[in-house]
Amino acid sequence: MHCPTSETELEDLLSTPSEADREALKPLRGNLLMLGASGKMGPSLARLAKRAAPHLNVIAVARFSEANLRPELERDGIETHSRDLLAPGALASLPEAEHVIYLAARKFGTAGDASPTWATNTVLPALVAQRYAKSRIISWSTGNVYPFVPVDSGGASEETSMSPVGEYGQSALGRERIFEYYSRAQGTPVCMLRLNYAVDLRYGVLVDIARQVQAGDTIDLAMGHVNVIWQGDANSVCLRAWDQCASPPSALNITGPETLTVREIAEAIGLRLGITPKFTGEPAPTALLSNSGKCRRLFGEPRVSTSQLLDWVVQWMSHGGRLLTKPTHFAVRDGKF
């Protein structure tokens, strides 16, 4: 795969299905409903699903505050509905669906106003679980449900006791517990995907660090270790995870295979840019890290390596590729987002 040179090429690459994607969706019938589909991952996931399974009616639901997104998705054969999902009656007016992907979430701004985060991350899952009690549900979650773990541990596994840092992480755990409650009570099959961190050239940890290197900023090494995964690989796992839906729910950590150091990432980017990065502080002995061994045993290794991602990010930025103003804030250690 070559580095995309435009957003059109990037979106095409992100939405190009593998044979495994096609095979996984082949048995599905009816509607595939995506709730909260206008975020960073939703549009490419909807396109990927439609291209992998033209026989499915892929339905994207969101507020669609970005003006051009809704007509673009419709041109790609995706049915759209504009909804504030927390509004009274919003879910009742949506179509039935045999398969539901839950992407709605709130993270940033929690430290200043936590109640909308709790409503989005706990009240809405309860409404969705009741409305689609007979569906299979894949819910995107986050590695923030785990505590920080030793950097030499290989990361938290799905069996690690969940002890999130801060209100956002707590509300994300609340989302999982709500889906778990209704899964047990109704027999609804659910799978929760705990992601950290996706990269798509316009955003992500590698982009955050590259921007700092390029700007000559001093990089704080306190959160000195991270995991990353190409967004296309993360979305591919999502579409292949339907057999993992169960009652009580199953969980999968979605990330790359390596524990990466922030220093080495910055130095690798600096080498590609011809810039010597500046650092401050020392890496803490713990970090927010996940072990993706279970996922990789089920679905194989990511197709795009970290080295390839670093090349792509630098090439994208060097050619003036558009970046989203959506930093990950991966360096936050107090859980306040």
Q: Residue 159 in contact with residue 165, Cβ under 8 Å?
A: no
- The yes-or-no verdict on residue 132 having pLDDT over 80 is yes
Give domain 7-318's CATH number out of 3.40.50.720, 2.40.10.220, 3.40.50.10190, 3.30.420.40.
Answer: 3.40.50.720
Whole-structure pTM value: 0.95
Q: Residue 121 in contact with residue 172, Cβ under 8 Å?
A: yes
> Nearest 5°: CA angle at 202, between 21 and 280?
120
Res. 171 pLDDT band, cuts 50 70 90: very high
- The yes-or-no verdict on residue 111 having pLDDT over 80 is no
- Mean of the pLDDT values across residues 66-87? 95
Q: Which pLDDT score is estimated for 183?
A: 98
Q: How far apart are CA 99 and CA 55, in angstroms?
A: 14
- The yes-or-no verdict on residue 61 having pLDDT over 80 is yes
SS3 290: strand
pLDDT tens digits, one per residue of 216-267: 999 999 999 999 999 999 999 999 999 999 999 999 999 999 999 999 999 9
Q: How far apart are CA 86 and CA 89, in angstroms?
A: 8
- Mean of the pLDDT values across residues 274-284? 96
Q: Which pLDDT score is estimated for 65?
A: 87
Residue 93, burial from CB neighbour count under 10 angstroms (0-12, 13-18, 19+): exposed
- Mean of the pLDDT values across residues 300-311? 96
- The yes-or-no verdict on residue 101 having pLDDT over 80 is yes
Res. 335 pLDDT band, cuts 50 70 90: confident
Q: Which pLDDT score is estimated for 327?
A: 87
Q: Which pLDDT score is estimated for 235?
A: 98
- Mean of the pLDDT values across residues 106-133? 90
Compute the half-sphere exposure of residue 271: CA atoms within 13 Å on the CB side of its CA. Answer: 9
Q: How far apart are CA 40 and CA 227, in angstroms?
A: 18
Q: Which pLDDT score is estimated for 91?
A: 97
- Mean of the pLDDT values across residues 131-158? 97
pLDDT tens digits, one per residue of 32-55: 999 999 989 999 999 999 999 999
Instruction: Count CB atoms within 10 A of the CB of residue 31.
Output: 18
Q: Residue 183 in contact with residue 139, Cβ under 8 Å?
A: no
Res. 275 pLDDT band, cuts 50 70 90: very high
Q: Which pLDDT score is estimated for 113?
A: 82
- The yes-or-no verdict on residue 195 having pLDDT over 80 is yes
- What's the N-to-C CA distance of the chain in angstroms? 35
How many residues does the structure list for the chain?
337
Percent of the chain with pLDDT over 90: 91
- The yes-or-no verdict on residue 282 having pLDDT over 90 is yes
Instruction: Round the average pLDDT of the chain to a whole number and report it.
Output: 95
Q: How far apart are CA 109 and CA 259, in angstroms?
A: 28
- The yes-or-no verdict on residue 112 having pLDDT over 80 is no
Among residues 209, 157, 196, 199, the alpha carbon closest in space to that of 305 is found at 199
Phi then psi for 319, rounded to 5 degrees?
-95, 10
Q: Which pLDDT score is estimated for 2?
A: 85
Residue with tokens 């909308």: 116
- Mean of the pLDDT values across residues 67-92? 95
- If you ran DSSP here, which 8-state letter would residue 217 be given? P
Q: How far apart are CA 294 and CA 285, in angstroms?
A: 24
Q: Which pLDDT score is estimated for 63?
A: 94
